[in-house]
Amino acid sequence: MIHVTELLDASVYDAQGNYIGRVRELCLVPTEQTGRIARLVISRGRYQPLVARYDQVASAAPGVVRLNTGELQLDTYHPDESWLTVRKDLLDQQIIDLHGRKVVRVNDLDLVEQPINSHMELFVAKVDVGLGGALRRLFKGVVPPYVIRTLQKGLPTRSIPWEFVDLIEPDPKRRLKLRLPHDKLAQLHPADLADIIEELAPSEREAVIESLPEATAAEALGEVKDELQARILEELEPERAAGILEQMPPDEAANVFADLPADVATQVLEDMESSEADELTELLQFAADTAGGMMTPEVFASVESTTVAQVAGALRGAEVPVDSLDAIYLINNDNALVGAVPLGRLLLADSGAALGSLQAEQLIFADAQAHEKQVIELFDKYNLRSLPVVDAEQKLLGMITVDDIVSRLWQKQT
């Protein structure tokens, strides 16, 4: 194993042992193969720098790189945006540690050598974020490499395998050229993603959100602390922001949306699908600290005469996730709330039973204008998991679920 700091500024010799120059930069070409050191940029003082390809390297040791060709076979160096450079793009920059689920700063890279035919390929094995790497950076060029190697022996190593590293490229144009994979990032838990997003600078946040599928981005955004949510959407393209808002639960979306500046809000609303936009604007009519502002308009409602079998059939055909389903609300022909059937009763009932016969003895609901405090009191008093919300004419508008209550209480506390 060899460290990148030991290779940078190393002397380069050709096949005959003649000195060519010094290693100025190591480059990866992610579109060819991830992790391979594909190019070595060799500086020669005032002459134009040269580039050695990976198959022109014969051996690499601390401070010394030997090539298997002559100087004349090397190309001259022209900067290429699709190359990932070690010194500029990796060392000292922030990366996402997918395993530890946090943002860390790169101190050094650990390379492994793989002899292939007549050349030696170098692959990035690990990213060093610990004291060892820091020590090498500090003493490089001042203390001989073997002394550094002895010094770092006793130190605890902290490194991340290359496959668990996600690189953040804030520049959108360069992002396209590099085509870095982000599939593993999207598999992180939304709450972890949110923590990562909170730690990054705006341009990097944008890079991370851009790399996620819309649904994942929406979930992650929902977990980001409130005052940052609108800020993040503001930074995105309106179209992308609209897409993410559509994927969020309507009550959460309304909360974020209410914090957007007026001009951005209008723009985003125009880019949203009309049905989603309508839903959002209607939710926004309620103050955030009332039942109306807390509720989600997505509820399952039916009339008393519907049978259990019909409900089950309808639920199977529903495109909306039924994970949060807790009760079926009963309404009359005027859409007024008349009862509720807890999910448990539905499960145990005969398939032919009518919903009206299964309803809970007591119907508890909140007026859309009821204050947050009253809502929380209801949840506490009746041990609720969900609570229907109605308007002044008893018409069903939506429901509040217990997870909203928990997060509100938690936010108040912290």
Nearer to other proteins, 50 or 331 (CB): 331
Nearer to other proteins, 37 or 224 (CB): 224
Nearer to other proteins, 105 or 114 (CB): 105
Question: Smallest gap, in angstroms, from Cβ of residue 248 to other proteins?
Answer: 12
Question: Smallest gap, in angstroms, from Cβ of residue 32 to other proteins?
Answer: 26
Give counts: helices (H), strands (E), the chain.
Answer: 18, 21
Nearer to other proteins, 68 or 170 (CB): 170
- Report which DSSP code applies to 68: S
Q: How far apart are CA 180 and CA 46, in angstroms?
A: 34
Closest by Cα among 75, 55, 65, 68 to 23: 65
* Structure tokens given for 374: 């009253």
On the 0-12 / 13-18 / 19+ scale of CB atoms within 10 A, 256 is buried
Nearer to other proteins, 237 or 282 (CB): 282
Question: Smallest gap, in angstroms, from Cβ of residue 302 to other proteins?
Answer: 5
Three-class DSSP category at 172? helix
Nearer to other proteins, 299 or 387 (CB): 299
Question: Smallest gap, in angstroms, from Cβ of residue 396 to other proteins?
Answer: 5
Amino acid at 132: G
Residue 319, C-beta contacts closer than 8 angstroms, at least 6 positions apart:
none
What is the C-alpha radius of gyration for the chain, rounded to an integer number of angstroms?
A: 30
**Angle CA 328–332–335, to nearest 5:** 85
Question: Smallest gap, in angstroms, from Cβ of residue 17 to other proteins?
Answer: 32
Residue 311 host element (H or E): helix 308-317
List of residues contacting other proteins (CB under 8 A): 91-93, 104-105, 107, 129, 134, 137-138, 140, 200-204, 226-228, 231, 234-235, 250, 254, 258-259, 261, 275, 279, 282, 284-289, 292-293, 297-303, 306, 310-311, 313-315, 317-320, 328, 331, 335, 368, 391, 393, 395-397, 414
Question: Smallest gap, in angstroms, from Cβ of residue 139 to other proteins?
Answer: 9
